[in-house]
Structure 1
Amino acid sequence: MTIIGFHCSHEQIHPAQLLQDVQRAEQLGFDAAMSSDHFSPWSARQGHSGFAWSWLGAALATTSLPFGVVNAPGQRYHPAVVAQALGTLGAMFPGRIWAALGTGEASNEHITGDPWPPKDVRNARLRECVDVIRRLLAGEEVTHDGLVTVSGARLWSLPDRAPHLVGPAVSVTTAGEAAAWADGLITVNQPHDKLRRMIDAYREAGGKGPLRLQVHVSWAPSMQRAEEIAHDQWRTNTFPPPACWDIDSAEVFDLASEHVPVEQVKQVVLVSDDLDQHAAWLAEFVELGFDELFLHHVGQEQQAFQEAFADRVLPQLRRTSGGSA
């Protein structure tokens, strides 16, 4: 049974509206939710960036859904603070919170004023942060001196069961490396042959836990409108690494994407006015072996998308995957 979740995009939607959106998602039959965690949007047109952790408390308290959050410990967040946030939510809402821990993007992390490290340093820093977070969630007192510094940290309010720490990856290499520490893998929609190689790299390296996929989609009653939504809201997200990691402001992303055509956007967003086509695309990800799909409609208005997918797409996916979660 594949879990079908709703992605909560803080960069695009006011946090009060996003809370209503995720509550509606549960009412319409979505099984889970996933939250971004940004300080800056990808584009000035998106125009929002609520604080994920305070929002998660409200969302967990007003729904019964399990939630994931994408987080980058090490610069904007000290790992002990991430551990405390996860531990508190895990204690209050047992078994309903997990975190995908990544190396981050300069657009969010530059606010500390610290230099933005090269990728190999960020990778090493992440591994230190993961170790610190795991030890704190296990109840240890932690002192650590490396790329991050921790002095005599201890969590006094602990969950009965530590939240899962998930490895986010967009490359085959990163997927294989995540197997050494992660409780599961999450990636974004990409060509199927690459996703297959990522799954194989993770499993062959000993990676355990669920396989999750965030899927960017754009739907509207007309193809023209679906393309307009995707092009307006997501053309700044078409740049491969290292550009997407190293550009440090929404304004620069907007300048860099001025001449990105809609066809380029459609390489990273599944765009169609045909709900059966969306269901077929998503069913292919289920067949690849993903345990959980998190649907991200890249528009700022979510209700029409949620209602249409709940009516036409989710039932087809559940027939494909053997029933509802």
Structure 2
Amino acid sequence: MSESRLRLGYKASSEQFAPGPLLDFSVLAEELGFDSVFLSDHFQPWRHDDGHAPAALPWLGALGARTSRIAIGTSVLTPTFRYHPAVVAQAFATLGLMFPGRIILGVGTGESLNEVPLGIDWPPSPERFARLKEAILLIKQLWVEDRVTHHGTYYSTENATVYDRPDTPVPLYIGGSGPAATRLAGRIADGYITTSGKAPELYTDVLLPALAEGLDKEGRERAAVDTLLEVKVSYDRDRDRAMQDTRNWAALALTPDEKTGVEDPIEMQRLADALPVERAATRWIVSDDPAEMISRIREYQALGFNHLVFHAPGADQERFLRSFSAEVLPGLRQQTR
């Protein structure tokens, strides 16, 4: 993806909403002028009570059929445990044929919350990364070659062919919050996905330098990789409501040590609900002022992120979409002309 213009997207919270309402919100996002819609591919949500986890693949097909313009994709899908990489290659080739130029495959190393409940032994980080790299290379090979025989460390195919595929392969984005996956994105991906709300030094001193290193290693231009940031925003003209809405996603404020080894949504919910709202809100830009919201979002754009996908935590997503599209998006677009 070589576009450098600012693109503004909507994060469909598949962990928070049932598939039907989620689809309606995403269709509305297109009507209101958003450029893209992304959703995660979870087997289990972060919360048990009122949690949801619709399957991403059929849901993307439904969204494609009900929309005509927006780019749609995963942020992110794990092609290494629940799915064989060849099945992912087949599914996204089909989606790419059905909705040309609109499908994006975002992949990552995954969460134990989604894999351990299926009887999968959760390996350490180096193996998860090695599996991801092998899976990506196999997917990309299946998109351009016939009768692929592959006997790798983790996956095998024998004379495998994805028969129905678009002439131009689907763009593949790599999601990551560490330097290894980010560097890999710079080397072989069409896009890079990460999330907002972390220490500024992580972006300036670790992630973006790793992306540049990956690009330089392969002699690629900066514009070769779309830089997608999932921006966590809680925006409402009622500031207290904007603060309270972040409680739905308090699990994001848990430290890695606090959630390591937690594969049960009931336990994750218990840990999250024990946090005060002030801590739950730390991962979010919380504001009741459009100018403040625009200014703080622009800080991420100044770092070099050119595709901003907005994730709102509140239960009333239509309220968010209508107010944010009317009061914040125009200011963001105007400042980039």
Q: TM-score, normalised by structure 1?
A: 0.93
1:79 paired with 2:118, answer no
Shift of 1:115: 0.9
Shift of 1:124: 0.6
> Which residue type is aligned with residue 130 of structure 1?
I
1:103 paired with 2:119, answer no
| 1:2-34 Cα deviation digits (max 9, x unpaired) | 100011111111111111111111111111111
Alpha-carbon distance between aligned partners in 1 of 2:6 and 2:260, rounded to the nearest angstrom: 31
Tell me the residue number matched to 1:184: 191
Tell me the residue number matched to 1:11: 15
In structure 1, the gaps of 5 or more residues are: none
In structure 2, the gaps of 5 or more residues are: none
Alignment of 1:159-308 (within 5 A): 159-189=166-196, 190-197=198-205, 198-206=207-215, 208-231=224-247, 233-241=248-256, 244=259, 246-308=261-323
3-state SS of the aligned residue for 1:286?
helix
Tell me the residue number matched to 2:336: 321
Shift of 1:243: 5.5
Asked if structure 2 preserves the Cα contact closer than 8 Å seen for 1:230 and 1:265, the reply is yes
Q: CA RMSD in A?
A: 1.7
Asked if structure 2 preserves the Cα contact closer than 8 Å seen for 1:106 and 1:246, the reply is yes
Question: Which deviates further from its counterpart, 9-18 or 265-274?
Answer: 265-274
Tell me the residue number matched to 1:50: 54
Distance 1:243 1:94, change over 3 A: farther
Asked if structure 1 preserves the Cα contact closer than 8 Å seen for 2:129 and 2:181, the reply is no
Question: Which deviates further from its counterpart, 263-272 or 121-130?
Answer: 263-272
3-state SS of the aligned residue for 1:267?
helix
Q: TM-score, normalised by structure 2?
A: 0.90
Shift of 1:244: 5.0
Identity of paired residues, percent?
35
Tell me the residue number matched to 1:128: 134
The ranges of structure 1 where at least 4 consecutive aligned residues each deviate by more than 3 angstroms after the TM superposition are 240-246
| 1:180-222 Cα deviation digits (max 9, x unpaired) | 3222211100333322232222023216411110011112332
| 1:28-75 Cα deviation digits (max 9, x unpaired) | 111111111111110124411111111111111111211121210111
